[in-house]
A and B are shown apart, each in its own frame.
Chain A
Amino acid sequence: MSRGRHSRGFSVVEIVVAAAIIVSMVTAAAGAWQLYLRLSNTSGRRTQAVLLSEEAAEALNLLRDRSWAKNIAALSLDTPYYIYWNGTTYATSTTPVTVNNSYNVYVTFGALYRDINKDIAGAGTIDARSRYATVTVSVAGNPGAKDLETQMLIHDIFQN
């Protein structure tokens, strides 16, 4: 009698519990998949951003090699300058330039201060032959959405 009743099929409670387990597992798997897609996309953008910021840092050195006075010292402090390859040379512009279809690369120069011993300090006299340069790679058209930000020092070593 007892065996016969068990073999008749599933009760509503059993079906509901089984369905709940299956649905929660599928939901968890879908969530994990979404996370994987998002992380994969982020890491792709980040690797591209690293290359672009390295290129911009090297381009700043090249601009410095050409002429510190014209290419670095002439630019205003604390103002973003978009840095790009115009087909024949590197140039800076205050209006946004999109590179590689979906990035903006800009550099912001900051003053470098030296203390009485000529050491770099938070305050003191401004060193006219040095700058802090912050290179930022951001989503094109959205300077606030930063992919990467790196800082470097640049000096007028050739006195040009």
Chain B
Amino acid sequence: MSANLDPDAALMLRVREGDRSAFETLVEKYKQPVVNLVARVTGDFTEAEDIAQHVFVQVYKSAHRYEVTAKFSTWLFTIARNLSLNEIRRRSRHRADSLDETFADDDEHTIRQPADTHSAGPTETLLQGELEEKVEEAIADLPEKQRTALLMCRHEEFSYEEIARVVGCSLSATKSLIHRARETLKERLKPYLHSGAWREE
């Protein structure tokens, strides 16, 4: 085994040999990022955990198809995106809406966020909660590819090349998706961005 092998790829090689504990390690590492992505891509925080569960089951069943040359996280998030799209399509069939849906102006699909845990405490906490809600709404209003690319981009671990592979676009198209998404959010959230609410810690 190459010394330069991605640690996750090394774990997947063990999973291919039937090592379930290696798979549990991968699940523990990626369960939160996967649920976060699924919830915000589908706009359904309630079902996100079930869908994320299916993602990992699919990963396990497809372990024999995993190619070591590919970064595991790219492969994992491609599956996560595909299952999220399936869920969006399934809901669309029931409503006969378009696939490239956003979730605005629709009471049935108002973002089902986790229960508001902000108690009536300090003003800053309330403001932070309101700002987070505005960000969630703005993200939900983006077209799916922009939404997915932006969500994957918000943390450093994914390069633009990896994001391009997950959303199925060229590198330049992916950069364009991210730029457009960020421009839309900056415009939408201008009052909040300038409020200094997201101060450097």
Q: Do A and B bind each other?
A: no
- Give A residues with C-beta under 8 Å from B: none
- Interface residues of chain B, those whose CB is within 8 Å of chain A, are none
